[in-house]
Amino acid sequence: MSHNNIVITGTGSYIPEVIVTNSEFAKNEFYDANGVAFEASHEEIVEKFKVITGIEERRYVRKDQNASDIGIIAGKRAIEDAGIDPESIDQIIVAHNFGDVRDNTIQTDILPSLASRIKHGLKITNPSCVAYDVLFGCPGWVQGLIQAEAYIKAGMAKKCLVIATETLSRVLDMHDRDSMIFADGSGACIVEEVASDLQEGILSHNVASFTTDETYFLFLGKSNITETGPNVRYIKMLGRKIYEFALTNVPSAMKACMDKANIDIHDVRKIFIHQANEKMDYEIIKRLFRLYKERNIPEDIMPMSINKLGNSSVSTVPTLFDMVRKGTIEGNHNLKKGDIIIFASVGAGMNVNAVAYKY
């Protein structure tokens, strides 16, 4: 029996060169949302941050780079990995949150779209290759994967390039403790239809948007110090509310996705989850296993990159996946043919999604 599978045939990523350690943040003046300085020393704040999030350092782009620039690099690497002609790509789907934010500015730039800029940078001339952006918070790349599958299944595309790219370092309030979480990076993949005697590739997905009380858990707001311009806005988040939201909704979203594909928790080899907060991610996995009344969690089921790369929003899942595929991540992580893996993310909106995939 032949299956028309929707498969990731190539991946690529770009990890920025600039390393920013926690000790460098210890030099900052941190204030709460009311502009009051914290009593704890900066060293204590930074050390507590590391314990909670697992982050030791993060990566920022160079001053001469923008989100579209690093997206071009990741996209080119995915195309080369897949071994396809760029002119054969039907869609370029680019997930991000802030567009291109040039160094020393705080203004987002999405005119033209990042997808158009990236298509131009890849020198793809085929006008039938449609390029567009996806704004879906941190789950944007996973959502792009879901959209690519839908278009291919509908017969409207054969090959899609899905890219995630972000330069959160350009929208940070350095007087906010939460600024230490965020980072830059880009990841990409080629998605195409492949006929096979075996069922593989995307097996199922699940998506949900919570837009009542949860809508503004992540938002743009003023600096924590009053000296900055009142009309300048920076990325802000309600950390405790996001933490509680994720623990409630991400495990159930993953289980619903797995149920659609008749996958049991014991079938899953790897879970590629959004690198938001190490403590939160471990708790999400623990709660997922509890939904199956299982308390024994394989030590190697969840690759992590947040300790060295930080939270690059849309880019965490595809960069992590690319690193595991190519053996460039720390730890005993690899993939082999037939492995069942889960992609999952949560972020601004608030949005949650998951994809079950047979490697």
Q: Which domains does the chain have, with CATH numbers?
A: 3-196 (3.40.47.10), 201-358 (3.40.47.10)
Cβ proximity of 268 and 308 under 8 Å: no
Q: What is the pLDDT of residue 107?
A: 82
Residues (pLDDT < 50) of the chain are: none
The pLDDT assigned to 137 comes to: 96
pLDDT at 39: 78
The string of pLDDT tens digits covering residues 139-163 is: 999 999 999 999 999 999 999 999 9
* 226 burial level (CB within 10 Å; 0-12, 13-18, 19+): exposed
* Tens of pLDDT, residues 205-232: 999 999 999 999 999 998 888 777 777 8
Tell me how far apart the alpha carbons of residues 65 and 74 are, in angstroms, rounded to a whole number.
Answer: 13
pLDDT for residue 273: 98
CB 346 within 8 A of CB 276: yes
Give the integer Cα–Cα distance in Å for 233 and 220.
Answer: 5
Q: Which of 201, 238, 236 is nearest to 219 (CA)?
A: 236
Distance between alpha carbon 258 and the CA centroid of its chain, in Å?
20
At residue 1, the pLDDT reads 65
Chain-centre distance of CA 87, in angstroms? Answer: 26
Q: In sequence order, what are the residues at sequence separation of 6 or more whose Cβ sits closer than 8 angstroms to the Cβ of residue 222?
A: 228, 230, 232, 233, 234
Residue type (1 letter), 105: T
The residues with which 18 forms a beta bridge, in sequence order, are 60
Which pLDDT value is given to residue 23?
86
| pLDDT score recorded for residue 252 | 97
Of 243, 281, 286, 250, give the one whose Cα is nearest residue 265: 286
Strand partners, 95: 134, 164
The pLDDT of residue 289: 97
CA angle 79, 139, 104 (to 5 degrees): 80
Q: What is the DSSP letter of 122?
A: T
Rounded CA-CA distance 50/10 in Å is: 34
